[in-house]
Structures are given as C-alpha cells and as structure tokens.
Structure 1
Amino acid sequence: MKLYVILFLYAPFTLTKQAAPRDSCVCELTNSEQEFPHAKLDTVEDNVSKCITNITPKKVLELESLLLGLERRLPQLQEDVSILERENDGELYGVLSLQVIENEMTDIMELIQKLNSTMLGHQHLTTRTTQQVEGLKAEMEELEKYDSTQVVKSQKANRILKRDLDECKNKNQLITQPTNHPHGQCSHGQFVNITGPRVSTAGEYPGSYKYGAWGRDPKPQAGKESWFWVVMMTSNNRHSNYVRLYSSLSSLIVGVSGPGNIMIHSSNPATNTIQGPNVVLYGEALYYNCYNQDAVCRFNLTTKTVTTLRLPEGTRFNSKGNFCHLEECYPFTDLDLATDETGIWVIYTTTKDFGNLVLSKVLEGQPPTLGHTWHTSLYKGGVTNTFMLCGVLYATRYVDKQIEEIFYSFDTATGVERFNIGVFINKMAPNIYALNYSPVDQTLYTYSDSMMISYKVLFG
C-alpha cells in the first residue's frame, strides 16, 4: 500500500472548506495581509517625476550663462568707452558710438535684472524641492512597511555592499590615464553648451545682403587683436569679391570701417573670387571656395595675392553638395571652411562618399596643402551647418524658425561619432547661412538672414 502525504504551507493565508459537488473540491483563499496601496505609489512616482522636471542641468547652465554674459559684457563696455575716447571725432562717429554704449548699458542692466530674478527663482525652487524630497522620503519609508519579505531592505544592503567592494577594489588598483582625451575636450574643458545671443546687429547695411559671414581672426597681426571681418554675398546671394574690416565691435555695429574693403578682384564674380558664404579669416588670409572650382582659395590680405588648393577628385561644387533642411537648401554651400585652436579645416562631400561629410585639415602655406582627411557617416543633405572646436567637428540641423540644434560630433583624435549632442541655438532669424567658431574668445559667429549674431561657448 502506498502512503501519500500532503503538506500545506501555512503562511498569511487561511483555507476554508466549502460544500461542493461530489466530484470536486473547492477552497476559498483569504489573504490576511494588508492590501498594497498602489495608488499611493503612483502618486509618489508622479511627484518624483515633477522634481526631476523642475531640477535640471539647464537651470544651472542658465544661471552660469547669465553670470558669464555679465562677466564678458563689462570689459567690453570698458573697451568701447576707451575706443570712443581715442577715436571720437566730435561728429557722427561720436554720436553713434555714444548710442552703442548707451544700448550696451541698457543690455547690462537688463542682464542684471534677469540674473537677480533667476537667482530668486532658484532659491524658491530649492526651498520647495527640499520640502518635497522630505515628504517623498517619509512616504517611501511608510511604503516599505509593506515589504513583508524584506526584498527592498535586501536590495539596499546589496547596493551598499557593492559600493564598499568597488571602493576597496579601486583603492588597491593603480589608476591609469586614458591614452586619448575624452570626446570633445581641450584645454578650456569639455564643450557643454552655449549662451543665448550675446551680440545681434544688422551691421552697416541692414537687410541688404542675406548671405554672408563674419568673425575674428584667430591668428591676428599685432595691433589687430580686436578687429572684426565681414564678407557679404553681394552678387545674387552667391558671390563676393572683397572682405571688409572693422577695428572694433563698436565700429562694426555703427558701420565705420577704417580699413574699408580689401578687394580680391574688380569684377564679381571672376576667377578666384568668393563663391558661397562659408569663409574664414586666419593669419591675415581669407580662405573660401574659389569661384566655379572644386578648390579652396587663400587670399593674402597683405600681398593681395591668391593661391589655390585643389580638393580630391569627385568633390561636389557649384551647388551640388549644399547644406539643407526640409524646407530649403542653402545655395553654394558645398565647401565649409572652419577654424579652431588647431588651425584651418575644410568640410565637403564627394561622389565616392555618397554625399556624406568629409573633413580635411588645411595646412598653411603659399599655396596651402591638404593634410589628414577623415570620412564620416553623416549625410550632408540633413545638415544645415558645421563648425570645428578643439579638433572636433560639430554639425547642426534645423528644428524650427526659432531653434537650431547642434546634434552631431566627430572627434578627429579618436574617430568617435555621436548623434546625441543636444545643444540648442536660439536664433534671431530663421536660417543660419554661416557658422564659425573663434578660439580667440571661444565664441560662435553666425550670419543669419542679414543679421550678425554671436554666442559664447561654455566649457565644463
């Protein structure tokens, strides 16, 4: 005879026998534990999400941007006053310069008011969030009472144990430095964000020239450290034959160019004149796409001579490899010249790369030569502009009429590509036709629908 043994595990459950048909056995299961308050847990999760939404890195960067903007504006105001004292002619220039200084003082006062308002808002936010966190802590401790099987407590203990083990392990290991620097890092630190517009001006010819570029020479001659340059597409928004120089930012804003225009050729366009807005000035030489050529021209401002650098076979030119977004392509933006801490770069596309961005180092000389070349996986037709910063290529895309996004980077030191940069540019006009970084003042200079706008780069 076989013996069958049935064991019942008695926990917080009660079994009650009920009357049932002859061929079946039914038991009622009653849970003696308290019902878990799921609704309360959902409320706690919602409150945590609100806290995360309120406290973000952007709020910290907002305050840092305001402080940095104020730090930069005050010396600029002092410099403009000094220039006015030296160059005041007692006539139109003096009146316009005083107007510029008055506008700068108004901007500084508005910046101070916004800074005070932001700091007060952050204080209120900190107080409110501290109270919310204390309340959430109490609610979570209350919910832990329902952890009858001690799962949460065990997880906490495991996390603490793992942390202690990691600390012990790290203390006993020799710390070695990485062979390559982190992505996008240089002597300033790592690129993390940009400020709102610092300078916004229509310049000397308001609304006259939609396409163009402006900025500062990263390698200026002695005595020209504060000079600015402007190149405007004066023929069909496509071509130009001169660069215009200004001795200071105030002079550019009020439209007083001491040196005036430095002509490349009397005709526009002509052989070796400028084609497209993506130009840069470096070491007293202008670099740009030569008219009707797949080549980079170098115009020496001192000797007034032009030398050329032929790009690889298959390079797209004459508006066949433009920057674009869904609504528009920017004509004759096949070649984009850029500067950074390391020198000059050219960004372009070739038929062999099927329209993906190609990046090459331009080596100074007369003529210049092509250095190392990198090939990316980023299709240029989905890009609105590019710039270089500390040897890293960054690309932007059009979001809407108010916002442009720096979304992509390619590190020439490591070959690593990223598509999640997520830095946003607040625009003053819908389209950015030229974008260049100046290592002199760590500033981005944009030319946007006839407007000249600058943004300060923030490093971590």
Structure 2
Amino acid sequence: MQALFTVLNPLLFLIIFGLYPSMTIGPKEGWQVYSSAQDADGRCICTVVAPEQSLCSRDAKSRQLRQLLEKVQNMSQSIEVLNLRTQRDFQYVMKMESQMKSLRTKFRQIEDDRKAIMARNFKELQDKMDELQPLIPVLEQYKTDAKLILQFKEEIRNLSAVLTSIQEEIGAYDYEELYSRVISLDSRLRNCMNKLTCGKLMKITGPTTIKTSGTRFGAWMTDPLASSKNNRVWYMDSYTNSKIVREYKSMTDFVSGLESRTYYLPYKWAGTNHVVYNGSLYYNKEQSNIVVKYSFETGRVLAQRALEHAGFHNVYPYTWGGSSDIDLMADELGMWAVYATNQNAGNIVIAQLEPETLEVLRTWNTEYSKRNAGEAFMICGTLYITNSHMTGAKVYYSYNTKTSTYEYTDIPFHNQYYHMSMLDYNPRDRALYGWNNGHQVLFNVTLFHVIKTEDDS
C-alpha cells in the first residue's frame, strides 16, 4: 500500500529527461512513461519522458500532462481513503481475531467443564447404585415374606373355621373358667421366666449404635430395678474432672438429645464404671478408693465407703487406663465392685456390696491381672473379663462366685469403633451397654439356661 502511494503521489520521483541537456527529444515527441522499477525500500519509481520546453507551450500534450497530473492527484486521494479504510478494517480484523481466540478458549473450557460434570454425575449415579445394591436381597426377602404372609392369612382363615366348628361341637367355655385358666397360665409363665433369669453367657451379638456423642470416654446406663414404664437414661461424659450427670426421660429423648434434668454431684468421679441401681447412682470418688451413693430423688449423698486396700488413680486400671481402677456393676443377684489390691498381687478382687450401706458382704480373689483386662461385667454372679479394649477383643476369662471356680472362654464380640471404655450388663434389658470411642452402643447376649423342675433333685 505504501509503495503504491509513493508511486502515484504528485511529488513522485520523476526523472524528466527533457530537463537535462544531455538527453534530447524529438520535436514531435510528447510525455511518455519510459520505464518503472522498485527502489531499495520497495517503492515503485516511474521514468517519464517529457518533450522539450519549446514544444510544451500551448500544445495539446501540455493539456494531457495537466490532465495526467490531475488524475494522479485524484488517484492519490482515493488511495489515501482506501488506505485509511484498510487500516480500520485491519484493526477490526485484529480485534475480531482476539475475540475469536477468547471464544475458542471459552469453548474449550466449557467442553472440559461439560466432561467434568458428566463424569461427576456419572460417579454420583454409580455411588447411588452401589448404595442401593444391598437392598436387592432385602427386596427379595420382602417378596418371600409377602408370600409367607399370604399363606399365614389363608391358614388363619382355615384355623378360624376349624375353631368355630370345634366350639359349636363342644360349646363355649364358661367365662370364669377361662379367666381362671388365663391366670394359671400367666403364673406358670412368670415362674418359668424367673427360672430363666440366670444363665451362662454363650454369645454376644451386635452392636446396635444408639447415638454418637461426647468424648472418647464416658458412661451411659439405665436402672435395672426400674419399672417397665420407667425408661430413664443417665449420661456421664469423660472419665475425670467432671460432676455433671444428664438425665433423659426415655431412650427416644436420649437419641434426640432432649435432656430432662441435670444433676451436679458433690464430688468428681473417676473412671467410667458407674452404675444406677434402684434410683441411686454409685460411683468412684476421684483420686480415692471411696464408693459414693448419690440419690437422684433427694440430690444428696446417702452413703460412702472406702474399699479396703483397693488400688485407685491408675494404680490398677483396665488396659485403656482412664482411672478405671474400681468397676461398679449390677446383675440379677445384686451389686458388685471389681478392683485389685497389692495383697492379691494386682489381680482382680470381686466384692459383693450391700446397696444401702455399701458394706462389703463377701470377696473373691481371682488370678487374673487387672491391668491385663480390657473390661469386665457380671451376669448371674459370674464375672466375665475381656482380654483387650481394642479391635479383636473377646471374652477370655470367667469367674463363678457361686462355685468359686474359673475357666478360660472364647466369646468374640464386634468392637466396631476400635476403643471400648465402658461395658456393663443390665439384667432388665438382658443387654450390654457400651461406650465405644464416642459411640453409645448396645450388645445383645445369649445365655444358656438350665431349667430345674420339681422332679429334679
């Protein structure tokens, strides 16, 4: 563009040979473009041959020269306008090119985002499918159960028809006679249940996670002597430096966190092995071997007594520590304390307590080291000891206070959350209450019962 402008500018580099005496032109010769070439900068240079001056005046070719100069000026102006337009269009093209590059980047980003979103959605769908996969056998079981229910309905209808027929044949029983039979059956059932209260531990199943709360260590419990309508739950977080006991009216309130009352004990407790028995809390007073009986009804200490020679303040704790030297518990036969003494070489001592006065009624010396025990609980007068508080623990040892004998056992249980800091048996619920690394859990127990009849010696 610049070279063409240079060529057609009126002030062109014109070499007019007529102005130089060394070059002569015939009298009849006019203006002619003699030659054209490019200089070192790329500009176009034209050679124009002009007539002699004596021939230019009032000559037709002079008019042609003026016309030619006018045309050159017009062309120069047109080219200038074209140059400006070209520069403007070039800037517009450059701008459009920048925008196109930006759009191309955005399109690539959108494409990458689309692929990432599709991959994430696919992963979410896959995870949901994996979650639903275990429901397939459950649904299959529901189908089977539905078929069984239909069969049961049919059998019930048939049985109802048979019973109606029998009743028509033998006549209806007298109401008083039926009531007497029901009372007799109820009495026999209760007697049978009383005979089933005690048994030997055979199996532990679960756990069922009731709630997740508190620190890694703590205790929660219900009263084994409470009525069937009284389902209060007590909660004591941590194993030391605390006096706060929280009460919940029911297990449902406990799960939802609906606290009904808060108690502030007169003394701090040690460990996590407390027990609620017949409306009172029994716990080990901090940094002592004293057992305290605290009444929830009156808010006062009803009794306290030191366990003679019992180690305390992490002298003979369970394997996890936590000042768990003295373990208080209850079963079908009453209240117990489990601890260790120097006199028994650090081995476990079992003491049966009188609940009202905390007097020690009798003791049994075992040969199992307290420091090697993970946790312990009483069922029907037999102490069961786990060999660890960590994963893989099992009930390894039992001591029967009735026969003063022991045996090694192998009863596994699932330590789901890897750290057990409390494990106590509740005879009313026939369950083990556990504090499993900040989770409050329940284990079911299976007992082997021997039912003695009147014919047995």
Q: If the length of structure 1 is used for normalisation, what is the TM-score?
A: 0.54
Cα contact 1:221–1:284 (8 A) shared by 2: no
Pairing of 1:389-428 with structure 2 (within 5 A): 389-398=379-388, 400-401=390-391, 403-419=392-408, 421-428=409-416
Root mean square deviation, CA, Å: 2.7
- In structure 2, the CA distance between the partners of 1:196 and 1:222, relative to structure 1 (3 Å rule), is closer
Counterparts of 1:304 and 1:321, CA distance in 2: 31
1:201 aligned partner, one-letter code: K
Q: Does 1:310 align with 2:306?
A: yes
CA distance in 2, matches of 1:219, 1:111: 43
- Structure 2 residue 363 is matched with structure 1 residue 364: no
State the partner residue of 1:429.
Answer: 417
SS of equivalent to 1:251: helix
Give unpaired runs (5+ residues) of structure 1: 1-105, 121-184, 266-271
Instruction: Tell me: CA distance 1:115–1:424, structure 2 relative to 1, closer, same or farther (3 Å).
Output: farther
Return the alpha-carbon distance in structure 2 between the equivalents of residues 390 and 438 of structure 1. 11
Structure 1 equivalent of residue 182 of structure 2? none
The structure showing larger relative contact order (alpha-carbon pairs under 8 Å, at least 6 residues apart) is: 1
Of the structure 1 ranges 426-435 and 347-356, higher mean CA displacement relative to structure 2 is found in 426-435
SS at match of 2:383: strand
Structure 2 partner of 1:72: none
Give percent identity, aligned residues only: 24
Q: Which digits, 9 at most, give the CA deviation of each residue in 1:158-205, with x for residues without a partner?
A: xxxxxxxxxxxxxxxxxxxxxxxxxxx963543210112123421xxx
Contact map agreement 1:216 1:440 (CA 8 A) in 2: no
Return the offset for 1:220: 1.8
Provide the rounded CA distance (Å) in 1 between the counterparts of 2:411 and 2:279. Answer: 32
2:452 matched to 1:455?
Answer: no
Partners of 2:360 and 2:330 lie apart in 1 by: 15
Query: Corresponding residue for 2:138?
Result: 113
Task: Flag the 1:116–1:218 CA change in 2: closer, same or farther, 3 A.
Answer: same
Map 1:160-239 onto structure 2 (within 5 A). 187-202=197-212, 206=213, 208-220=214-226, 223-224=229-230, 226-233=231-238, 237-239=239-241
Residue of structure 1 equivalent to 2:455: none
Aligned position for 2:332: 341
Normalized per residue, the structure richer in helix is 2
The structure number with the bigger radius of gyration is 2
| Secondary structure in structure 1 of the residue aligned to 2:259 | coil
Distance in 1, Cα, partners of 2:270 & 2:313:
9
C-alpha distance 114-189 of structure 1, shift in aligned 2 (>3 A) = farther
Residue in structure 1 matched with residue 296 of structure 2 by the alignment: 301
Which secondary structure state, in structure 2, belongs to the residue aligned with residue 453 of structure 1? strand
Look up the SS of the partner of 1:381 in the other structure: helix
Distance 1:316 1:440, change over 3 A: same
Match of 2:367 among 372, 377, 384: 377
Find the residue that maps to 2:365 and give its secondary structure.
strand
Shift of the alpha carbon at 1:318? 1.0
Question: What is the CA–CA distance in structure 2 between the aligned matches of 1:316 and 1:442, rounded to whole Å?
Answer: 30
Task: Give the letter aligned to residue 294 of structure 1.
Answer: N
Whether contact under 8 Å (1:194, 1:455) holds in the other structure is: yes
Q: Mean Cα displacement is larger for which, 298-307 or 188-197?
A: 188-197
The 1:378/1:116 distance shift into structure 2, 3 A limit, reads farther
2:281 to 278, 282, 286: 286
Q: Aligned with 1:394: secondary structure? A: strand
Question: Given residue 455 of structure 1, which amino acid in structure 2 is its aligned partner?
Answer: F
Shift of 1:371: 1.1
CA deviation string 1:13-44 (max 9, x = no partner): xxxxxxxxxxxxxxxxxxxxxxxxxxxxxxxx
**Total equivalences in the alignment:** 265
Q: Secondary structure at the match of 1:257?
A: coil
Please say if residues 398 and 407 of structure 2, whose CA atoms lie closer than 8 Å, have aligned partners that are also in contact: yes
